[in-house]
Amino acid sequence: MIATEHGAKWSIRASANRASTSVRRFTPSTYCALLLALQFIESIDTIRNHLQKRRRELHQIRNAMVLVVDLMSNKMAANGKALTLFKKHEVKTAMHLIDF
């Protein structure tokens, strides 16, 4: 995409393929609106990347919690105090709430 100035107008040339080229003319205010839209899209991408990082962190926390629950149930079983099926179901439900 190439942007060039023609007096009071701007033109953006974009070719869909090598055989055809289209030219569209935009006023400076339209061009500014396009630039603002692009900046907004970049902001959304930044936010999305941040949320993906947080999601990975939440998955690590969830995996650690699952490990703790497994260790606790194994320890209780070794002591003769097995976790009841109802309690295990409650723990699994809580894990699903954290899961994405």
Q: Mean pLDDT in runs of 10 for the chain (100 residues)?
A: 46 47 67 86 89 88 80 71 57 56
Residue 3: predicted pLDDT: 47
| pTM of model > 0.85 | no
For residues 46 and 70, what is the distance between their CA atoms, to the nearest angstrom?
37
Give the list of residues 6+ apart from residue 39 with CB closer than 8 angstroms, or none. Answer: none
Residue 100: predicted pLDDT: 43
Q: Looking at the DSSP assignment, which residues form a beta bridge with residue 13?
A: 2, 23
Sheet containing 9-14: which strands, arranged edge to edge?
2-6, 9-14, 22-26
Tokens of 25: 């003319």
Residue 84: predicted pLDDT: 55
Residue 1: predicted pLDDT: 41
For residues 61 and 57, what is the distance between their CA atoms, to the nearest angstrom?
6
